[in-house]
Amino acid sequence: MDLTSVKAMASGSKHSYIRKKKFNFKKDMIGWAIMLPGLVLFTFFVWKPLLSGIILSFFETEGFHAGKFIGFGNYIEALTDMNFKKALLNCFKYTFWTLLLTYLLPPFMAIIINEMVHFRGYFRFSIYFPSMVPSVAVSILWLFLFDPGPNGFLNILLSYLNIEPSGWLQNPKLTIPLIVLTMAWRNFGPTSVIYIAALQGINNDLYGVAAIDGAGFLAKIRHITLPGIYNIMRLFLAVQVIVVFQVLQEPLVLTGGGPDNASTSLMLQIYHFAFRDFQAGKAIATSVIAFIILMSLTLVYFKLVKANTDME
Amino acid sequence: MKRILVIVLCMLLVLGAASGCGTKKSDTVSDSEKATTTEAKSDSQVEGTEDAEKEPEPVTIVLGLAPADSDEAGLKAFNSAVEEFTKEYPWITVKSENFVYDPGTFIPKAESGQLPNIFNTWYTEPQKLINAGYVAEITEQMKAIGWDKLIHKNSLDLASKDGKIYGIPTNIYSLGLMINADLFAKAGLVDERGVPLFPKTFDEVREYAKIIKEKTGKYGYCVATRDHQGGWHFTNIAWNYGVEFEKQVNGKWVAAFNSPEGVEALKLIYDMKWVDKSVQDSALVGVGDWIKLFGTGQVAMVPGDSAWAPTVVATDYKMNKDHIALCSFPAGPKNNYALMGGNLFMFSKDSTPAQIDACLKFLKFVGQGPEFDPNSVPLLEQAYQELRNADPPRPITKGFSVSIDPELLRVHEELFNKYVNVNIEFFNDYYLNNFKNLRPEEPYHAQDLYGILDSVLQRVLTDKNVNLQELLDKAAHDFQVNFLDKIN
Amino acid sequence: MSRFSQKTGGFIGVMDLKRLRVRVLYWCMFSFLFLVSLVLLVPPLWIILSSLKDVREFYATPPSLLPKTLQLWKVVEVWNKLEFLRYYGNSFIVVAGCVASTIIFNGLLAYGISRLKPRGSKFIFGLILASIMLPSTVGMVPLFKDITNLKLMNSFVPLWLMSGATAFVVMVYKNFYDNIPSSLFDAAEIDGCSTFGVFWNIVVPLSKAINMVIIIITVNSSWSEFFWSFMILREKTLQTVMVRIYVMSTSFSSVGYGIDYQLVALTFAILPPVIMFIFFQKYIIQGIALTGIKG
C-alpha cells in the first residue's frame, strides 16, 4: 500500500458522499422532525432575540426600547464614532496574534501528548486546568504578573537578568499580543481536548502500514496525523477568528481598552455604548457592522477552503 | 430509538405548554396589574386630598436597600428595622434585596421590570435613567408630604427634569484630597501635633509628592486614568487652573480645554510623572486600583471624599483608620473649586403611587429621608455602633445631608460628635472648607468628556515625548465633533 | 521501560522506540510538555495558595513567593459561611440538565444537518454559524424580556434549555458526523435499518468519545456560567455556587469579603469540575476503544 492510498483511507469518508438526489418527502420530514427540538431552542434563545435586537438598531433608542424610526441613523453614528477605526484595526491585530499564538498551539500540543506513554493523563489535565480556573482568579493572576512597577512580579524576574522593567500590558506595542497570550493560556484546554479525541480516532493500522513502507516521522505526520485532524483545524480556524474578533472580557478587565485605546476592541466599544452610555441603538449598529465584516471574512474563507479541497 | 422519540415528544409538549400558557398567563397578569395600578392611583389621591387615616389598601414593596449577605451585622440591623416598620404599618408587606447598581445587569433588569421599587444610585446617573424611562416620577408623592421643600434646591435639580421630581437626594459630597497620614509623618510633613500639613495648592501637592517619594520611596500622588475616574478628577484640577471645558460662544457650545491653562494643568501631571517621578507606575488606574494603592499604603495622596474613608479600611487592604486624613481640594493658580457629587434614591418605572408612598414612609422611618423622625434615632445609633465595633473598626466620617430640616441637621451633628472615632483634626480642613465653593459636573456629556480625558492621561503617563498641546487639541476636537456639535 | 511496549497509535511506533535517537526525541518532547504543564499549572495554584496568606501579605510589594503567614482557618470559615453544600447541590442540578440538553438537542440538530440533510438544512447551518458572529449583547435584553414574560424566573428550565442551543457544539458534532465513513451507513441501510435505527445502532455507539468531550466542556462552561444564573435565579435558595461568588465579589459593602476569602471560595468552586474532568477524561480514550471501529 502506498502513501496515497493510506492518505485516502485516513481522510476516508469524503469520497462516498454521493447521495441519491431524488427528493424524498418522508425522509425530509423525518430529518426536520429530528432537528425540530433544537430548532425551537435556537429560535427562542438565539435567533429571535438577535432579530429583535437588529430591528432595534433602526430606531432611536431610549434604553433598550424603540422610539422613532431613523433608518441608518445609528449606523452612521457608529461608523463615525471617534474610536471606531481604532477598535476595528485592533480587532484585526487581535486576530493576527491569535492565529499566531492561539490557533496552532493546541493541535501541536495534542499531537505531542498523543505520543506520550508516560504521564499522559497528567498532561491532559494540565492543559485543561487553566480553563477551569474562574476568570476572577485569572485576572488577578495576570495583573499581579504584569504589574508595571519595579516591584511587579515579572519585572523582578527581569531585574535579575539586568533588564529594564517593562510596562507589559501598558506598553501600547505589547498590550494586544500579551492579552492574546493570556487568552491562549486560558482557552487552550477545550480545543486541545477535541484534538486529542480526534487523534484517538485515527486508525492506528495506518501508522503500521506506513512504517512498513518506510515512511519517516514527518511523512507520517503529514500524511496520516494531519489529515486526521484537518477537518477540525479547518473548523477551528473559522471559529477562533470569529471568537477573537469579539474579544471583550480580557481587555475589559486587564486594560479597560487602554492605554489610550491601544487595546480597545469593537466589542468593548459595544459594551460601553450599551451598558455604560445606555445607547442600545449605536451598540447594536456597531455589532451588526462587526457581523457583516466577520460574515464576509468567513464566506471568503470557506470559498478558499472549498476551492482548495476541490483541487485535491 | 423509542426513547429518543419519547424524549423529542416530551420536549415539544413541554415547550408548547410553556409558551402557550406562558403568554396567556402574562397577559392576564399584566391586566390585573393594570387594575391594581389604577385602583392604587385613585386610592392615593384619596389619601392625599381627604383623610390619610382611612383603611389603606394592602401594598407590597421591594426595597433594593438591604446590605450584602456578608455584612451580617448590617443585615440584622436592616431586618429588625423592617420588622419594626411593618409593625407600625401592618398593611405594607416588605420584601428586600441587596441591589447593586451594576451597569452590566441593570439594563436587562430595568427593561423587564425586575428592578426593586426603590434603589440607591449616584448623581451622575439620574438624567440618564430619566431619559431612558427606567424610573418613576414622584413629584406628587413628594409634594404631598412636603419633602420637596426640605431638600436643598441644587441637589433636587439634579434629580429632576422639566420640573418633575424623579429622585430623593440623600447626601452630598465634594471631591477632596485623601491623605495617608502615616506616609506624611514618615516624610516629616506634619505639624507639632502630628496633623499632616495639608497642601493648599497644586504646587504644594507636587512639592509634597516629591518629598514623599524621596523620603519614603512610596508614590506621592495617584493619577487615576480609567473608568472615567481620571477625567473626573482631572476636570476639577483643570478648573482650578482656569480651564473652561464647555464654553458658550455665540450660542454654541465649544470644547475649550485645549487652552494654555489646559496645557498647564496637564503639564503638572506630566512633570510629576516624568520629572519628579512621584506618581504611580501604572498608567491604567481605575477605582479599584487607586483604592488598592491607597489602602495598601503605596500612595500618599489621591482625590477622594469622606465616603471613601470607611471603604478603604473595610476592603481587602485593612488600612488603619488612624492613618487616613482628608483635606479640601487644592487650589490652582486661578480657582479653588471642589467637584460636587452625591447619592440619591430612585424608584423603578413600574412602581405604583401606593408603592412609592410606602417606600417614602420607610425612608422616613429609618431616618434616610430629608425629614426628621424620632423613631430613626435608635436605628442611626445602631448603625454607628456597628461601624465602631466592626473588625477592624471603621472610621466614622460625616456625611452632608441635603436636607434643610434644622432638627434633622442638629440631631445628625450630635450623633456624629457622639460616635466619631478618629482624630477630627485629620478631617476638619475638609469638613469646614471644602463645601464653600462647590461646582457641579460639566453640563453636557460629562461622562464622555471623562472618557476622552482618561485617554489623554493614559497617554501622558505612557509617552515621555508626548506633545501636550497637540494631545489636547485632538481631544478637544474629538469632543467637539462627537458630542458638542450634536447638541448645538 | 515496559510502558513503551504498550504504545499504540501515534507517529512514533513501538519499533521506532527501540532506537536511541528516537528515545532521545521522545524524552525531549516529554521535557517540553512537562515545562509547558508547569507554566499552565503553577501560576493559578500559586495565586490560589496565596489566598491563605494574611491579606496584607497578599498585597505586599514586592510579592512574597512563599507565604510567610498561613491562615488555614480561612478554609473552614469560608466553607461554613458560604453554605457551599447547598449551592453545590443547585449547581449540580443546573449542570446535569445543561449536559443532557446540550448533548441531546445540539447532537440531534447536528445529525440532521450532517446526515439527513432535509431540504433547507444548509440554510439552517448558515444561520447557526451566523449567530456566533453577532455579539450576544445584541440579543441579551430581548431574551431576558421573553424569559420574564414567560414567567420562567426562578426556574432552572431556561438555563437548561439555553444550552440546548449552543452553536459551537452543533458545529463540533456536525464535524464529527461528517467524518463517519458513509460505508457504515450504507451497510445499515441495506440491512433495512430505519433512520432511527441507524442513529441508535450506529451513531450513538460511535459518539461515545465525542460525547465525553462535549460533557467535559459543558460541565465546565455551565458550572462557571453566572450571568444568566444570576439574572434568572433570584431566590437565594436556588442560586448556584458561581452566582454566590459573583454576588460576593460585586458587593461593595463596607463589610464585604476580602480577596483572600474570595479566592478560597473560588478554590471550593473549581473542585467539582476538576474532579469530573479527571473522572471523564479516561473515557475519551475508552470511548474510542469500546466502539471497536477506528477511523
- CA dihedral angle for residue C50, residue C240, residue B101, residue A286, rounded to 10 degrees: 90
Contacts of B70 in chain C (CB under 8 A): 248, 251, 253, 255-257
Cβ of residue A141 closer than 8 Å to a chain C Cβ: yes
- What average pLDDT does this structure show over B15-28? 33
The residues, any chain, with a CB within 8 Å of residue C196's CB and separated by 6 or more, are B1, B4, B5
Yes or no, beta carbons of A37 and B12 under 8 Å apart: yes
Instruction: Identify the residue with better confidence: A125 or A63.
Output: A125
pLDDT > 70? residue A2: no
Going by C-beta distance under 8 Å and a sequence separation of 6 or more, which residues neighbour residue A272?
Answer: none
- C199 falls in which pLDDT band (50, 70, 90)? confident
What per-residue confidence (pLDDT) applies to B48?
42
Q: What is the pLDDT of residue C170?
A: 95
Q: What is the mean pLDDT of chain B?
A: 85
Inform me whether the pLDDT recorded for C288 exceeds 70: no
Per-residue confidence (pLDDT) for residue C68, from 0 to 100: 79
Above 70 in pLDDT, residue C32? yes
Please tell me the least confidently modeled range out of A109-123, B41-55, B376-390.
B41-55
pLDDT exceeds 50 at position B22 = no
Per-residue pLDDT of B165-211, as tens digits, reads: 999 998 888 999 999 999 999 999 999 999 999 999 999 999 999 99
pLDDT higher than threshold 90 for residue C53: no
* Amino acid in position B158: L
Task: Give B 184-213 residues with CB within 8 A of chain A.
Answer: none
- Tell me the DSSP string of chain A: --HHHHHHHHSGGGGGG----S--HHHHHHHHHHHHHHHHHHIIIIIHHHHHHHHHTTEEEEBTEEEEE-TTHHHHHHHT-TTHHHHHHHHHHHHHHIIIIIITHHHHHHHHHHH-SSSHHHHHHHHHHHHHS-HHHHHHHHHHHT--STTSHHHHHHHHTT-PPP-GGGSTTTHHHHHHHHHHHHHHHHHHHHHHHHHHTS-HHHHHHHHHTT--HHHHIIIIIHHHHHHHHHHHHHHHHHHHHT--HHHHHHTTT-STTTT--HHHHHHIIIIIS-BHHHHHHHHHHHHHHHHHHHHHHHHHHHHHHHH-
Report residue C18's pLDDT band, with 50, 70 and 90 as the boundaries: confident
Percent of chain C with pLDDT over 70: 91
ipTM score here? Answer: 0.87
Mean pLDDT of A271-286: 90
Do the Cβ atoms of B280 and A149 come within 8 Å? yes
For residue range B204-231, list pLDDT tens digits in order.
999 999 999 999 999 999 999 988 899 9
Question: Residue C251: what pLDDT?
Answer: 55
| Per-residue DSSP letter, C64 | P
Can you give the pLDDT at residue B245?
95
CB contact under 8 A, C149 and B23: yes
Question: Residues in chain B, how many?
Answer: 488
Contact yes or no for C255 and B109 at CB 8 A? no
Domain boundaries, chain B: 176-339+427-487
Residue C277 has pLDDT above 90, yes or no: no
Domain-wise residue ranges, chain A? 3-20+75-311
Helix pair B260-270, B468-479: axis angle to 10 deg: 120
Smallest CA–CA distance from C145 into chain A, residue: A49
Contact C56 B7 (CB under 8 A): no
| Tens digits of residue pLDDT in A145-181 | 888 888 778 888 888 888 888 889 999 999 999 999 9
- Does residue B379 carry a pLDDT above 90? no
Residue from C116, C255, C257 whose CB has the most chain B CBs within 10 Å, to mutate: C255
- φ/ψ of residue B176, rounded to 5: -120, -160
User: Does the pLDDT value for residue A42 go beyond 70?
Assistant: yes
Least confident of A53-67, B5-19, B190-204: B5-19
Can you give the pLDDT at residue B53? 54
Residues in chain B within 8 Å Cβ distance of A261: 455
What was the pLDDT predicted at B55?
A: 66
Q: A41 contacts in C (CB within 8 Å)?
A: 105, 161-162, 164-165
**Which region holds residue B428: left if phi is over 0, alpha if psi is between -120 and 50, else beta?**
alpha
pLDDT at B7 (0 to 100): 38
Cβ separation of A170 and B282 shorter than 8 Å? yes
Q: Which residues of B touch C141 (CB under 8 A)?
A: 107-108, 111-112
Q: pTM here?
A: 0.85
> Averaged over A284-301, what is the pLDDT?
93
- At residue C143, the pLDDT reads 93
- Per-residue model confidence (pLDDT) at position A43: 95
The pLDDT of residue B2 is above 60: no
| Mean pLDDT (whole number) for A268-272 | 92
Would you call B296 and C251 a contact, using CB atoms and an 8 Å cutoff? no
What local confidence, expressed as pLDDT, does residue A166 receive? 86
Residue B423 has pLDDT above 50, yes or no: yes
Which pLDDT score, from 0 to 100, does residue C291 have? 41
The yes-or-no verdict on residue A256 having pLDDT over 90 is no
- Please check whether residue B114 touches C, CB under 8 A: yes
Side chain identity, residue B4: I
Structural domains in chain C, CATH included, are 2-72 (no CATH), 76-291 (1.10.3720.10)
Low-confidence winner among A17-21, B133-137, C16-20, C57-61 (lowest mean pLDDT): A17-21
pLDDT of B388 over the 90 cut: no
Cβ-Cβ pairs closer than 8 A, A with C, add up to 310
Residue A311 has pLDDT above 60, yes or no: no
Q: Is residue B36 pLDDT above 70, yes or no?
A: no
Flag whether residue C48 sits within 8 Å of chain B, measured between CB atoms: no
DSSP one-letter code for C113: I
Chains that touch A (3 or more CB pairs under 8 A): B, C
Does any CB of chain B come closer than 8 Å to the CB of residue A53? no
**Domain A3-20+75-311 CATH assignment equals 1.10.3720.10:** yes
Which position has the higher pLDDT, C59 or B346?
B346
Mean pLDDT value across residues A39-56: 94
- Determine the average pLDDT of the residues in B30-39: 38
The model's pLDDT over C137-170, given as tens digits with 9 standing for 90+, comes to 888 889 999 999 999 999 999 999 999 999 999 9
Architecture of domain B176-339+427-487 in this structure: 3-Layer(aba) Sandwich (3.40)
Closest listed residue to residue C208, CA positions, set C98, C95, C292? C292
| Side-by-side strand order, sheet with B176-180 | B219-221, B299-304, B176-180, B324-327
Contact call for B282 and A81, based on CB within 8 A: no
Beta-carbon separation of B447 and A277 below 8 A: yes
What is the arithmetic mean of pLDDT over C192-200? Answer: 80
| Choice between B172 and A11, residue whose per-residue pLDDT is larger | B172
Q: Does C196 touch chain B (CB under 8 A)?
A: yes
Residue carrying the nine cell digits 474532579? C275
Helix/strand/coil for C216 = helix
From A80's Cα to the closest Cα of chain B, the distance in A is 8
